[in-house]
């Protein structure tokens, strides 16, 4: 039996089947490339769902992590540590906000934002206790906790995990009229992905995000943007909201904030919002730990140069130009996205998204399907144009295009 089959059999026997991974067993990685246990190389066109925006083994991030590993890795928030202040101040500055509340995973940051909005609603806006409502969009993906799946519309994510947390109103994504109708005097926040990732890289209609901004400002409701996947350079801007000149009240960040090294997430907002928390009202043993802060600080420094946003813009324009040529040719029905991020709808007769992903794997390209007939392309922003073109060649070959 091969090392690959063996590893997969053991994983199947001893891990809960919450994922359906492609049959590749990765042993090492560098930049945009991964190598499996048998020495085969693959171009990573998923980048850990955007957690690896800066590529595998990024020198600056590994050096920052290694230096911190040698000094101190965990203190708990019972004490200050010497990386915390700089991380919070620099991340707040990157966001143009005043305060940061660091957590670990994306779902925790979303939970933190939900708690922030409710507390703000009761203590600042004056909503009667226990009546706060948060408006969310259909087909959202915000994570996997019991509260978050309570407002999911995906049956796999939600079914048989009730009883569900109340206090959420679901409206169609991209529909400003529906959103306006859903907002009442008890609404404390609108929580949205500026581009819906898991839904298939859905870009809302032009004017939607700025419309949400205007509506929430008028109605004294927080606009909370889940930029966990769309943010930190992926779309060619630091935040996807920037494409419409929109500044939300609350940024929810994760994935690439940890540089693909450690889980780092955060809620970022001004003092009039995050200032609602007092000691003991929220926390996390690992949130804001020295290792996380050292890596996060380096991520922020890298984003401040604009270099990665620039790459995502230029390579993204190229990617979308090339993918656009495939639309209508019988293999691809639609392409969506911004920057180095694309959802590609495959003509069903050419195979399911899963089948296309498996064939691409055979040719040395790793992608992941989403929702049946869509594949998502999100290579690391450090990918070279040559590698990107090679990946696109493999895609054309699999599609017979």
Catalytic machinery residues? 141, 226, 255
Q: Is the dihedral of CA 386, 388, 389, 393 positive or negative?
A: positive
Closest to ligand PLP by CB, 143 or 236? 143
Instruction: Show the site string, 89-118: x = touches ligand PLP by CB under 6 A, - = not.
Output: ----------------xxx--x--------
Closest to ligand PLP by CB, 110 or 303? 110
- Give the shortest CB-396-to-ligand PLP separation in angstroms: 28
> What are the residues facing 101 on neighbouring strands?
267
Of 28-36, 39-47, 184-192, 225-233, the segment contacting ligand PLP by CB under 6 A is: 225-233
N- to C-terminal Cα separation, the chain = 36
Q: Phi and psi at residue 327, in whole multiples of 5°?
A: -70, 130
- Give the shortest CB-341-to-ligand PLP separation in angstroms: 11
> What are the residues facing 252 on neighbouring strands?
226, 267
Closest to ligand PLP by CB, 110 or 293? 110
By CB under 6 A, is residue 228 in contact with ligand PLP? Answer: yes
Size of the site for ligand PLP (CB under 6 A): 15
Q: Is residue 222 within 8 Å of 274, Cβ to Cβ?
A: no
Closest to ligand PLP by CB, 227 or 298? 227
Q: Is residue 241 within 8 Å of 210, Cβ to Cβ?
A: no
- Give the shortest CB-296-to-ligand PLP separation in angstroms: 14
By CB under 6 A, is residue 141 in contact with ligand PLP? Answer: yes
Q: How many CB atoms lie within 10 A of CB 210?
A: 15
**203 backbone φψ class: left, alpha, beta (φ>0; ψ -120 to 50):** beta
> What are the residues facing 253 on neighbouring strands?
266
Angle, helices 59-69 vs 290-304, to 10°: value is 150
- Give the shortest CB-354-to-ligand PLP separation in angstroms: 20
By CB under 6 A, is residue 49 in contact with ligand PLP? Answer: yes
How are beta strands 265-269 and 250-253 bridged, if at all? Answer: antiparallel
Q: What's the CA gap between 362 and 36, in Å, rounded? A: 12
- Give the shortest CB-142-to-ligand PLP separation in angstroms: 5
> Which residues, numbered 234-263, are part of the site for ligand PLP (CB under 6 A)?
254-255
Closest-CB residue for ligand PLP?
A: 106
Q: What's the CA gap between 10 and 73, in Å, rounded? A: 32
Closest to ligand PLP by CB, 110 or 127? 110
Closest to ligand PLP by CB, 43 or 114? 114
What radius of gyration do the chain's Cα atoms show?
Answer: 21
By CB under 6 A, is residue 229 in contact with ligand PLP? Answer: yes
Of 10-18, 137-145, 169-177, 302-310, the segment contacting ligand PLP by CB under 6 A is: 137-145
Helix or strand (DSSP H, E) at 36: strand 33-36
Positions in the binding site for ligand PLP (CB under 6 A): 49, 105-107, 110, 141-143, 193, 197, 226, 228-229, 254-255
């Amino acid at each position: 039996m091969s090392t690959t089959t063996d590893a997969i059999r053991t994983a199947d026997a001893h891990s809960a089947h919450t994922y359906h991974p492609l049959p590749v067993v990765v042993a090492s990685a560098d930049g945009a490339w991964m190598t499996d246990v048998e020495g085969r190389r693959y171009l990573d066109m998923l980048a850990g769902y955007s957690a690896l925006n800066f590529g595998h083994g990024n020198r600056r991030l590994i050096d920052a992590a290694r230096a911190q590993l040698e000094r101190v890795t965990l203190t708990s928030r019972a004490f200050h540590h010497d990386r915390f202040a700089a991380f919070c101040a620099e991340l707040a500055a990157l966001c143009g906000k005043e305060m940061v509340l660091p957590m670990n995973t994306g779902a925790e940051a979303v939970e933190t934002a939900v708690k922030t909005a409710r507390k703000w609603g009761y203590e600042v806006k004056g909503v009667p206790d226990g009546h706060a409502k948060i408006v969310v969009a259909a087909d959202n993906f915000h994570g996997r906790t019991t509260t978050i799946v309570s407002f999911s519309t995906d049956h796999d994510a939600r079914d048989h995990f009730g009883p569900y947390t109340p206090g959420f109103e679901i409206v169609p994504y991209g529909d400003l009229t529906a959103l306006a109708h859903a907002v009442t005097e008890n609404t404390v926040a609108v929580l949205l992905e500026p581009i819906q990732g898991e839904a298939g890289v859905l870009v809302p209609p032009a004017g939607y995000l700025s419309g949400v901004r205007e509506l929430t400002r008028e109605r004294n409701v927080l606009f909370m943007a889940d930029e966990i996947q769309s943010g930190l350079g992926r779309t060619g801007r630091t935040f996807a909201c920037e494409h419409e000149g929109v500044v939300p009240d609350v940024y929810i960040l994760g994935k690439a904030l940890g540089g693909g090294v450690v889980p780092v997430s955060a809620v970022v907002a001004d003092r009039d919002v995050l200032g609602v928390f007092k000691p003991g009202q929220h926390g996390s043993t690992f949130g804001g730990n020295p290792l996380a802060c050292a890596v996060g600080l380096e991520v922020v420094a890298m984003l401040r140069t604009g270099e990665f946003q620039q790459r995502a813009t230029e390579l993204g324009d190229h990617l979308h130009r090339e993918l656009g040529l495939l639309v209508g040719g019988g293999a691809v029905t639609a392409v969506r996205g911004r920057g180095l991020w694309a959802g590609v709808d495959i003509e069903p007769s050419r195979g399911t998204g899963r089948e296309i992903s498996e064939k691409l794997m055979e040719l040395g390209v790793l992608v992941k399907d989403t929702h049946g007939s869509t594949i998502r392309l999100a290579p690391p922003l450090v990918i070279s144009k040559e590698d990107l073109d090679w990946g696109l060649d493999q895609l054309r070959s699999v599609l017979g295009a």
